[in-house]
Structure 1
């Protein structure tokens, strides 16, 4: 088949239907999409998701998979680079480390690209007409991660999985990790576990490590506490938090500060002193202890036993209850505000139904995936909640992971002007 290639010269190029998946082809990208790849189209108009590419680049790619409606590819070389393309500084990235999939993008450009990804997901998947999406703040792009979960190689050394296979790319330092974490990476050895997590508590200057039950961890100083019962402490928004090894916490205390501020903005206008607040997927009590500090009543629902134990400790002295259970098993109570921070998959139909049964006038949803945000937006709209605005934060620089805070308001039956489908 004779075609015009992206640079305007004639070439014989097969379509994805017939080409060898290892064949190199030339594509022009358009924009970033959910998952962190750039979108391009083949000669027949089929969508191709290109990892390692940026918007509006001419790239040579190797086809990886081909399906009826779309294909995936990876960049081999860049013919016309974006002005936002940079050379990854991390030596492990050049050895194939898959820990940071956006190191080839200038940090200053990343949050805007994440905002575009979120806006497209809300428009295309959630079908929100002209969604209000604003670009929020970003944390420093290097040295920010206070918790890392690492793979353990056959030799006991730790690292991240390769972006091309399940092999472990061993690390002695990681540029996005806190310097104290890097001090552990250089010497730690583990056995009896496939994964090892390292965490530093900035407020208390504590270092901890843990793996699977029975894991043997060596090569660390005596001051590093080892095991699932170890704890660290962090200060966020004027509150000190205890965080156990197996309890979830944000990528850093700075990231937690940004999230607390964004959720506070999304809850503005409510008199919390007169409100019952539900903190769903409440973890160690980050939002209950800060955003909802002055609420008349707070109910935190969380499935993790260690997080619930931390939350009870962190919420001492507040009018707060901690319910240790899955949200789907919780019996809803009347509330005025719901704050929900689910895992990457977002809400499911059962969880969404529990939240709306509270009758809350506002739901503030914290999402860490643009696709799940879009699906949850559709779910909540079906239950009578209108999308009022999303703020995009960059708390995982140099990766495609997004973090969003979204405000949903309940609209009254028959209120056409405030109906989410009103144009």
Structure 2
């Protein structure tokens, strides 16, 4: 295949960024806006040795799963809904298959164990208007008019759109109010390349159960001129509870600043999941889909098998969302979180709900837990501390190996792993299975309809010593892994540069591959001299490399 060639291909799968994947004699084509089952004509835009990026030219035969009229007319140009043009039932089966495939290929879990453990995915009755949070970038169009919307896929070009099909209806009214105010008082929108202008983003949060509304403007300055006028206008919207602004004067892609200042009302809103009430600030992590969150936590609770006699550790506990759910049925719950503000929010949420059998610790779990265990031994005549249940809900990158080691050392009878990335989940399950745990139940929950993302809940139980054996395998007996054969280092570098503008070294790629459990050649990643120090891959570049590895289906 060469650039500008026209190819006809049937779409068999969906990539990590929502592109349709078709193959011609093993040569893969990644085609944006194509869905599983389509037969399409596509123009080759960039050809590599084993794959190419292609542009959709014509849908020869539409898939039976293709939606005739997408709910949102901006679905193709906006980067938010990668698979909105695919029928929702097929979205669910695609995500279920994605979880299954990662568990087998990356996790190394035998297919018969996965088939026995997998339970039907939990979908939504109405897979739209589910997001309780939206962050709208603000800028200007070619005519200098102020616009708000979402970034086009893989760019920072704003697609004007004040009515997102995934968001709540009131978002449009709020954005219109803010834009009218800015135009009336000639308040500038932020210009990212020149680092000038005032208003960068508008954050909106909505309590589905309480109907409380929060608006937070992110600004490149110390204040909002005539802010009292904006506050007065916004406060007239029913449910408005909190109007604030966040100061972010850094030249950065990070949206929120660290400082929140009050314009009107209070600095937080509240919402309810199940029968637990939560206090949510602009900086709080809180699941964006409350309808599915209640189902997600319900699955986690079911897997934990609590009788009221257990001690539970909730790691990466955030503002205590899962911890407080668990505390309703456990004897004692301990939550661990590294973000100081989240720990304060968690303690406040426990107080609001009158829940006394929960305690929150600030710090890294791999440090907090050993210190707790040491103190326990001192107070109990050397008796070792064991946990009944460990619940872990890490960020997309998964758990640090040190934390996994700590979980094993705690000797928990059950581990409930809540994951937003089936690739890193599978990698971590591989470690835990190697330390005497086995996967018993797995269930995907569609937390993000119309996108390729999915949440997964997994239950692992500790095996008895007579139920398993250890097998020692020398690494030099192994040949090239399937993952290694998928893409070369140069192809990964090209992908990262094209899609993010970042240049990454072979060393950084090797470090990320190692984290993902991809086997490296002996001595490949060693320093040139014994005393030399290797640079560590920055987080931004790590995420870009991980995206490339997912794109090439290496993780």
Shorter-chain TM-score bucket reads 0.7 to 0.9
The change in CA–CA distance for 1:262 and 1:238 in structure 2 (over 3 A counts) is: same
TM score, norm. by length of structure 1: 0.85
Query: Which of 40, 43, 54 pairs up with 1:59?
Result: 40
Choose between structure 1 and 2: higher strand proportion: 1
Q: Is the 8 A contact 1:237 1:260 kept in 2?
A: no
Q: Is the 8 A contact 2:36 2:65 kept in 1?
A: no
Query: Which of 370, 376, 394 pairs up with 2:422?
Result: 370
For 1:107-256, list aligned pairs within 5 A.
107-130=88-111, 131=114, 132-139=117-124, 140-154=126-140, 156-163=146-153, 165-189=155-179, 191=190, 192=198, 194-212=200-218, 214=222, 216=224, 218=230, 221-222=234-235, 223=240, 224-227=242-245, 228=260, 230-256=267-293
Q: Counterparts of 1:185 and 1:135 in 2: how far apart (Å)?
A: 39
Query: Which of 354, 364, 368 pairs up with 1:326?
Result: 364
Structure 1 residue 76 corresponds to structure 2 residue 57? yes
For 1:280-319, list aligned pairs within 5 A.
280-316=315-351, 317-319=355-357
For 1:320-359, list aligned pairs within 5 A.
320-332=358-370, 333=373, 334-359=386-411
SS at match of 1:99: coil
SS at match of 2:177: coil
Unaligned residue ranges in structure 2 (runs of 5+): 180-188, 191-197, 246-259, 262-266, 374-385, 472-555
Q: Which digits, 9 at most, give the CA deviation of each residue in 1:339-397, with x for residues without a partner?
A: 11111222232232232232111111111122222222222223322122211111211
Structure 1 residue 400 corresponds to structure 2 residue 455? no
Q: Counterparts of 2:436 and 2:46 in 1: how far apart (Å)?
A: 40
1:34 positional shift: 4.4
Higher relative contact order (CA 8 A, sep 6+): 1
Q: Is the 8 A contact 1:193 1:215 kept in 2?
A: no
The change in CA–CA distance for 1:378 and 1:91 in structure 2 (over 3 A counts) is: same
TM score, norm. by length of structure 2: 0.66
1:107 positional shift: 2.0
Q: Which segment drifts farther, 220-229 or 123-132?
A: 220-229
Choose between structure 1 and 2: higher helix proportion: 2
Q: Is the 8 A contact 2:270 2:278 kept in 1?
A: yes
Taking only aligned residues, the RMSD between alpha carbons, in angstroms, comes to: 2.6
1:294 positional shift: 2.8
1:246 positional shift: 0.7
1:112 positional shift: 1.6
Q: Is the 8 A contact 2:131 2:168 kept in 1?
A: yes
Q: Which digits, 9 at most, give the CA deviation of each residue in 1:230-252, with x for residues without a partner?
A: 21111111111111111111123
SS at match of 1:153: strand
Q: Is the 8 A contact 1:202 1:233 kept in 2?
A: no
Q: Counterparts of 2:27 and 2:461 in 1: how far apart (Å)?
A: 38
Q: Counterparts of 1:403 and 1:118 in 2: how far apart (Å)?
A: 9
Q: Counterparts of 2:357 and 2:443 in 1: how far apart (Å)?
A: 29
Query: Which of 102, 107, 116 pairs up with 2:83?
Result: 102
Q: Which has more radius of gyration? A: 2
The change in CA–CA distance for 1:64 and 1:339 in structure 2 (over 3 A counts) is: farther
Q: Which digits, 9 at most, give the CA deviation of each residue in 1:148-167, with x for residues without a partner?
A: 12222246532111025320
Q: Which digits, 9 at most, give the CA deviation of each residue in 1:77-126, with x for residues without a partner?
A: 321222111132212225x1111111101223221211011111112221
Q: Which segment drifts farther, 408-417 or 216-225?
A: 216-225
The change in CA–CA distance for 1:374 and 1:59 in structure 2 (over 3 A counts) is: farther
Structure 1 residue 41 corresponds to structure 2 residue 41? no
SS at match of 1:136: strand
Q: Which digits, 9 at most, give the CA deviation of each residue in 1:263-289, with x for residues without a partner?
A: 112112x43x22111111111211111
